[in-house]
């Protein structure tokens, strides 16, 4: 799953560094992701994983790293 | 230190701070408003009166020696000032936006806590430096960065607009977190008087809000590294700076609108007195514009008390939720449009007496001041943000 998340970030995260140089724990905002870009990341995640992020998941911290995103996706899928 | 200052004659904020502000608005701000506007000068008399009444530290919490008033109380003060002088009101609003950011995001730092106590004791005035050459009105991006070395920071910034910068004691500036940080990874830094210089780079000869004295300037500064706020500016912006700005700005615009309707009402009454027994035709127009004013007032008050409640609850999630962001942004856009419409209608009621600069019913200053509202963080920019928030909001 982290591979799919990384591909989405590569396409929509508008990071100022190459995603492959970042660890799963690295702070994506410090890597240049803006809140506007995080909206597109979320839309791409929803399409890719066929999920919907409930409003309570729409927090800055949820999109702060590859592992945070991956945990959120797991949690949303588990709740289905 | 507190006692020394108290002996020097500074009194604590009075029991009815809003009444004090309303009195300063009508007895001081009103008297100088036209000269402030005409000369494009700082409203020194009104700001001095607000300092003497100890109203610049009202958001400082009791634990740090302040009265700890709520956001809606400050909003009501902004409105009261704007009835008579929108520039004074906007300066008061912008100052409290900076104080709110420090109160809500600086308290984990002993140095910033001490600063807030001192701000209240000395009634220091803080200005904001978010604008920058190269990013325009995009508050969430910086070109310049703060550099930290051996416990000190240096920060130089080429700002496009700094309201009352030359009259302020201290500044709160945004910058990239470090030399290698991207544009959006920002921090806020407190710059203290004596630690910065301003070199004016443009003039402030504007249509309205002339007394805010907001030319561009190159800021050069250094100071203790603890003056870099300990949380990312992204959180400060979303949880405090944006909601507080929109509430206090909208309160200023409500005050401008109320001031204009007040003039229209006085005009209609004068017409009615000239022909006792008949209702002047302008009275119906007054009823219409009064209706609009009530709509604006209801929306500003509702959103400001909601924001005040969320802030008092101290729950960051409640302040950064998408629904709340949309609501705050909608308030800014609608209030900034309604104020122009209301002042325009008041102008039509007063007719040529409103159009003249030298009549008691003159509305030129109100109209010019009101037109700043849609530009202060451009409405199109805000609507673009809302458009993207609406792509993700699931329930309302
Ligand atoms: C009275 C007053 C006092 C101020 N005081 C201060 C101060 O003390 N400190 C400070 O830092 N700043 C201050 N500012 C500046 C303010 O914060 C903004 O930076 C400034 O008003 C925006 O400048 P701009 O209109 O040139 O730029 P922009 O915001 O870039 O707007 C230019 C145009 O582009 C449009 N636009 C921009 N982005 C988008 C988008 N994404 N989608 C659609 N349209 C878009 C806008 O709507 C507008 O038409 C003050 C402004 C005013 C009016």
ipTM for the whole complex: 0.80
Share of chain A above pLDDT 90, in %: 79
Q: What are the DSSP E strand ranges found in chain B? A: 126-129, 147-149, 152-159, 170-176, 186-191, 196-200, 217-224
Short-list B304, B278, B297, CA closest to B339: B297
Q: What 3-state DSSP class applies to B175? A: strand
pLDDT for residue B359 is more than 90:
yes
Measured distance CA(A9)–CA(A2) in Å, rounded:
10
pLDDT for residue B24 is more than 60:
yes
Q: Which residue has the least CA distance to atom 36 on ligand 1? A: B381
Using 50, 70 and 90 to split pLDDT, how confident is the model at B6? very low
B394–A52: do the CB atoms touch at under 8 Å? yes
Contacts of B321 in chain A (CB under 8 A): 55, 58
pLDDT for residue B12 is more than 90:
no
Residue to test with chain B: of A35, A41, A47, A63, most B Cβ within 10 A: A35
pLDDT given at position B8: 40
Contacts of B320 in chain A (CB under 8 A): 59-60
pLDDT given at position B396: 62
pLDDT given at position B9: 40
Name every residue in A having a CB less than 8 A away from some CB of B: 16, 29-36, 39, 42-43, 52-56, 58-60
Which residue would you say has higher pLDDT here, B239 or B13? B239
Beta strands at B126-129 and B170-176: parallel, antiparallel or unpaired = parallel
pLDDT given at position B64: 97
Bridge partners for B170 per DSSP: B126
pLDDT given at position B59: 97
What is the residue extent of each domain of chain A?
2-78
pLDDT for residue B5 is more than 50:
no
DSSP per-residue letters across A3-64: HHHHHHHHHHS--SS-GGGS-TTS-TTTTT--HHHHHHHHHHHHHHHT----GGG-SGGGGS
CB-defined contacts A:B, below 8 A: 51
3-state helix, strand, coil in chain B (%, to 5): 55, 10, 30
Which residues does ligand 1 sit against, CB inside 6 Å?
A: B 94, 127-131, 136-137, 159, 161-163, 209, 212, 214, 372, 375-378, 380-381, 384
Contacts of B183 in chain A (CB under 8 A): 32
| Dihedral angle, C-alpha B147, B150, B153, B156, nearest 10 ° | -50
Contacts of A53 in chain B (CB under 8 A): 392, 394
pLDDT given at position B11: 54
Q: What 3-state DSSP class applies to B347? A: helix
A39–B392: do the CB atoms touch at under 8 Å? yes
pLDDT for residue B391 is more than 80:
yes
CA of B187 to the centre of ligand 1 (A): 20
- The encoded tokens of residue A9 equal 């970030």
Using one digit for the tens of pLDDT, what is the confidence trace for B68-84?
Answer: 999 999 999 999 999 99
pLDDT for residue B152 is more than 60:
yes
pLDDT for residue A65 is more than 90:
yes
- With beta carbons less than 8 A apart as the criterion, state whether B53 and B77 touch: no
pLDDT given at position B394: 81
CA of B142 to the centre of ligand 1 (A): 14
CA distance B205 to chain A (A): 34
Name every residue in B having a CB less than 8 A away from some CB of A: 140-141, 177, 181-185, 232, 234-235, 238, 317, 320-323, 385, 388-389, 391-395
B320–A42: do the CB atoms touch at under 8 Å? no
Share of chain B above pLDDT 70, in %: 97
Give the phi and the psi of residue B270 in degrees, each rounded to 5. Answer: -65, -40
pTM for the whole thing?
0.93
Number of the ligand 1 atom closest to the C-alpha atom of B131: 11
Number of the ligand 1 atom closest to the C-alpha atom of B138: 29
Measured distance CA(A19)–CA(A34) in Å, rounded:
15
Using one digit for the tens of pLDDT, what is the confidence trace for B271-329?
Answer: 999 998 899 999 999 999 999 999 999 999 999 999 999 988 888 888 888 889 999 99
Short-list B191, B178, B181, B177, CA closest to B233: B177
B392–A29: do the CB atoms touch at under 8 Å? no
pLDDT given at position B4: 37
pLDDT for residue B136 is more than 90:
no
Q: What fold characterizes domain A2-78?
A: 1.10.1200
pLDDT given at position A25: 96
Mean pLDDT within A23-48? 93
Q: What 3-state DSSP class applies to B218? A: strand
What residues contact residue B294 under an 8 Å CB cut-off, 6+ apart? none
Contacts of A51 in chain B (CB under 8 A): none
Q: Name the average pLDDT for chain B.
A: 94
pLDDT for residue B2 is more than 60:
no
pLDDT given at position B210: 98
Contacts of A39 in chain B (CB under 8 A): 388-389, 391-392
CA distance A58 to chain B (A): 7
Mean pLDDT within B247-262? 98
């Amino acid at each position: 799953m982290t591979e799919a998340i990384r591909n989405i970030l590569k396409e929509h995260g508008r990071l100022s560094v190459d995603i492959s140089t970042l660890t799963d724990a690295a702070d994506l905002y410090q890597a240049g992701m803006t809140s506007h870009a995080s909206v597109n990341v979320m839309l791409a995640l929803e399409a890719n994983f066929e999920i919907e992020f409930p409003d309570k998941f729409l927090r800055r911290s949820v999109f702060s790293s590859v592992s945070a995103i991956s945990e959120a996706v797991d949690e949303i899928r588990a709740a289905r | 230190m507190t006692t020394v200052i108290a002996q020097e004659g500074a009194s604590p904020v009075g029991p009815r701070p809003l009444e004090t502000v309303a009195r300063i608005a009508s007895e001081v701000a009103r008297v100088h408003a036209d000269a402030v506007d005409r000369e494009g000068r700082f409203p020194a008399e009104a700001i001095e009166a607000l300092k003497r009444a100890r109203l610049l530290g009202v958001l400082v919490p009791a634990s740090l020696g302040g009265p700890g008033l709520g956001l809606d109380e400050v909003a009501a003060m902004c409105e009261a000032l704007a009835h008579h002088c929108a520039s004074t009101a906007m300066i008061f609003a912008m100052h409290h936006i900076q104080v709110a950011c420090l109160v809500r995001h600086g308290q984990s730092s002993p140095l910033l806590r001490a600063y807030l106590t001192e701000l209240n004791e000395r009634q220091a005035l803080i200005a904001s430096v978010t604008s920058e050459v190269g990013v325009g009105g995009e508050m969430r991006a910086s070109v310049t960065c703060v550099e930290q070395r051996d416990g000190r920071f240096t920060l130089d910034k080429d700002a496009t607009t700094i309201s009352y910068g030359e009259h302020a004691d201290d500044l709160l500036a945004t910058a990239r977190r470090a030399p290698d940080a991207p544009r959006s990874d920002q921090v806020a830094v407190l710059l203290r008087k004596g630690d910065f210089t301003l070199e004016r780079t443009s003039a402030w000869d504007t249509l309205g809000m002339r007394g805010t004295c907001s030319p561009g300037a190159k800021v050069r500064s250094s100071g203790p590294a603890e003056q870099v706020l300990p949380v990312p500016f992204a959180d400060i912006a979303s949880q405090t700076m944006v909601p507080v700005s929109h509430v206090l700005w909208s309160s200023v615009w409500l005050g401008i609108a109320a001031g204009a309707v007040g003039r229209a009402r006085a005009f209609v009454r004068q017409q009615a007195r000239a022909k006792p027994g008949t209702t002047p035709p302008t009275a119906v127009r007054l009823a219409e514009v009064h209706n609009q004013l009530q709509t604006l007032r209801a929306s500003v008050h509702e959103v400001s008390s909601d924001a005040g409640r969320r802030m008092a609850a101290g729950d960051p999630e409640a302040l950064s939720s998408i629904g709340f962001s949309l609501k705050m942004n909608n308030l800014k856009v609608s209030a900034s449009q309604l104020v122009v419409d209301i002042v325009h209608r008041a102008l039509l009621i007063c007719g040529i007496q409103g159009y003249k600069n030298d009549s008691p019913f003159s509305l030129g200053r109100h109209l010019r001041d009101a037109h700043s509202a849609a530009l202060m963080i451009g409405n199109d920019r805000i609507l673009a943000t809302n458009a993207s928030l609406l792509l993700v909001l699931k329930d309302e």
